[in-house]
Every structure is written in structure tokens, then in C-alpha cells.
Amino acid sequence: MVQIHAEMRLPTQDLQEDLQFFTKILGMRLDSIYPADDPQVAVLSGHGMRLRIQQGATEPPGTLRILTDDPEGFAKGARTLTAPNGTRVEIDVLNPPMVMPHTAHRFVVRRLADQAPWVIGRAGMQYRDLIPDRLGGAIIASHIRIPDGGPVPDMVHYHTVGFQLIFCYRGWVDLVYEDQGPPFRLEAGNCVIQPPEIRHRVLHASDNIEVIEIGVPAEHVTTIDHDMTLPNDTIDPDRLFQGQRFVHHQAKTAAWGPFRLPGYKSRDTTIAAHTDGVAGVHVIRPTGEETGWVRHDSDILFTFVMDGTLTLAGEGQEAQHLTAGDAFVVPPGMLIHYAHPSDDLQLLEVALPGVFTTTVQPM
């Protein structure tokens, strides 16, 4: 079997002095040193690294980051150090807690007709940002498309998030999730929530697939899991992932019922119930009755226009005529009016938290 080792080379002006630092302070192991009579090169390993410290090497000293679940117990609690050769060493937390930024509330309208740029993201997918300022980092909403269908060059991975929704807008996509059984097809009108750190993979997509993806917070880490193969042997649909269950909502089996807005009905995806109220997701349509003015007290209220048209009137704002592909955010406390909806209007509404109060303004 062919053996391969990779190593990082660092310069040194005094090999013995650097050996003391890397072995005694950083706790690395000396693997080899030569020549014996006048050492010029030392190879060390530890903490997942292999270092070659070489007299006269011309590279800059660089920066090493060491991640540990006990930073206070490593290197006597120092968080930054400098080796004799000039290498900077940063000691940081192995699994830092997820930070939920404070929401920067504002009224946002994002139009498809404004031709916001599509950018190439992970696995070759094209992304369009639906909330450009991301409300201060509190949320990211992306319109994602894959023009050419077929196998998706994805790997088993997970996201360190507080909430994540995938809503299939057009076409279909084949997905597989940890502990949820064999791969399945997510079709237009259906959605899944990806609980925090659930392993999953995108397998195949139809031509011109489009999805709406919501992530909280906006900046979150995607980690590749090189060890897990999906589907895995365990099937546990009731498993909790940091308090949330996996949900695959299917439109064909869902019922329509009353909604918080007068003049609208809702298809509840049950996501509020399965996330313990972290978020709520509804598909809504007009009933033909008068809507009136309303205000809400949810922290984040995002809406995407899937089909049809409406006029969005907001307190202190110019009325906006919205069409399919447009998106908007209504801040808490703002009076709003969903006026002149077309008969085919269909909206996707995502609220965080999932349970909040809506107040109807007297007509």
C-alpha cells in the first residue's frame, strides 16, 4: 500500500529554541531530526498537523490555529503565542457556540425584476439573495436554482444553524437525510426543515429546479462529514436534533384552514409544532374577503411571492406592486395591507418565532 504524508514547512533561525516551543509549550511530538551532528531539520506531529521546521527555509513563518474543547487548559491558558521563529499560534474553541445576532428590523422589498445577481455557490448551485442586508446577520433567504438537472456534486454534510428551511418552488430534487430512511423526492410545493446538524445530501435535480432556502443565523458553518454514508441504517423519524424534528411537508396531504390575516387561508406545514415554536411556515392564498390593515409582533416575518400578484402597502411606505419571484420583510409593529390580490396569488410566509400575535386595525 502506498503511504502518503503531507507536511507544512516552517523556517527557523534556531532549531533547538523552536523545538522547545513546539514540544514543551504546544505538546507536539518530535518524529525525526537530522543531520545528527548539526541538526538543520526537525519533523514534528500533533493535533492533526505535521510540521517540518527547517533551518534556512525561505517561507514566511505563517499562523497555526489549534482548536480545543479546553482552551484554558492548553498552553497554560494563553490564547495567542509567538514561536521563536515568528510563527503566530492562535488557540481557539473547538466547537464555538452559535451566535444569534440581534435582528436589525426594517421593511424590505426585493424584486425579481431588479435583476439581482445570481452567484455560483456550493456544489455549483446558483444563488440569488432575497434579503440583501440579512437584517443585521439574523437571517439569510436565498432563491436557488440549478438550470441543468441530473446528479448534483454534493457530499454528506450538515449545517450549524438555529433553523433551516428548504421549500421546493419549481421542479423537484432528490434528497437523503440521516435517520430518515431512503432517498425521497421533494416536489414543487413541498418543503423540509433541516434540523441543526442533521446529516444530509442532495442527490439529483430536475432541469430548472428552484428552491427557497431560509437559514438562521445568516452566517453559519457547513461541515462535510467524510465518515457517514447516507442512507444510514438507523430509521428514527421522531429523533430530536437540538430540540427539532425533521419535517417533510407534502402539499397533497395537507389541509387548508383559517389564517392570521383576514381574507386569507393557510396551508400549515406543521413546522412550528416540530420546532417547538422556533419558526412557523405557511403557504397562503386569498379568500376574496376584505383584508384590512394589520400589524404583527414577530421578530422576523419573511414572505416570498410564488404565484400571482398583490399590492403591498406599508405604513409610511409607497405601495408596491409585487409579482412572482418577489420577496419582502415586514418589521414588527408596522401597519401593513395586502391589497388587490390576484385570484392565483400564493405566498410562502416564514415567521420566527412560529407563534406570535397579529393585530387587525379596525376598518
Per-residue pLDDT of 183-196, as tens digits, reads: 999 999 999 999 99
Same domain, 278 and 308: yes
Domain end among 31, 63, 93: 93
Same domain, 68 and 115: no
Domain end among 34, 63, 93: 93
Quick one: how far is CA 306 from the chain centroid?
Answer: 22
Same domain, 44 and 78: yes
For residue 248, is it within any domain? Answer: no
Same domain, 67 and 156: no
Same domain, 192 and 273: no
Same domain, 55 and 124: no
For residue 49, is it within any domain? Answer: yes
The confidence band for 314, taking pLDDT boundaries of 50, 70 and 90, is very high
Same domain, 15 and 45: yes
Question: How big is the chain by its Cα radius of gyration, in Å?
Answer: 26
Quick one: how far is CA 334 from the chain centroid?
Answer: 28
Q: Which domain holds residue 186?
A: 111-239
What's the confidence (pLDDT) of residue 126?
87
For residue 155, is it within any domain? Answer: yes
For residue 152, is it within any domain? Answer: yes
- Find residue 176's DSSP bridge partners: 201
**Residues 210, 214, 220, 226, Cα dihedral to 10°:** -50
What's the confidence (pLDDT) of residue 281?
97
Give me 317's grid cell. Answer: 411606505
Same domain, 221 and 302: no
221 pLDDT above the threshold of 70: yes
Same domain, 132 and 220: yes
124 pLDDT above the threshold of 80: no
- With a threshold of 0.85, does the pTM exceed it? yes
Each residue of 104-117: pLDDT tens digit? Answer: 999 999 999 886 67
What is the C-alpha separation between 363 and 361, in angstroms, rounded?
A: 6
What is the C-alpha separation between 243 and 93, in angstroms, rounded?
A: 23
Q: Checking DSSP bridges between strand 327-329 and strand 119-120, what pairing results, if any? A: unpaired
For residue 105, is it within any domain? Answer: no
Give me 129's grid cell. Answer: 439573495
What's the confidence (pLDDT) of residue 266?
97
Same domain, 228 and 119: yes
Domain end among 63, 93, 123: 93
For residue 297, is it within any domain? Answer: yes
- The single-letter code of the amino acid at 107 is F
Same domain, 210 and 282: no
Mean pLDDT of the 303-332 span: 96
The CATH number given to whatever domain includes residue 257 is 2.60.120.10
Give me the number of domains the chain comprises: 3
DSSP collapsed to 3 states, 222-264:
EEECCCCCCCCCCECCCCCECCECCEEECHHHCCEEECCCCCE
For residue 288, is it within any domain? Answer: yes
For residue 16, is it within any domain? Answer: yes
The CATH number given to whatever domain includes residue 28 is 3.10.180.10
Listed in sequence order, the residues at least 6 apart from 331 whose beta carbon sits closer than 8 Å to its beta carbon are 105, 106, 107, 301
Give me 297's grid cell. Answer: 409582533
Report helix, strand or coil for 52. strand
CB 318 within 8 A of CB 220: no
Same domain, 119 and 203: yes
- Average per-residue pLDDT for the chain: 94
CB 97 within 8 A of CB 126: no
The confidence band for 147, taking pLDDT boundaries of 50, 70 and 90, is confident
What's the confidence (pLDDT) of residue 98?
84
Each residue of 25-74: pLDDT tens digit? Answer: 999 999 999 999 999 999 999 999 999 999 999 999 999 999 999 999 99
Each residue of 237-274: pLDDT tens digit? Answer: 999 999 999 999 999 999 999 999 999 999 999 999 99
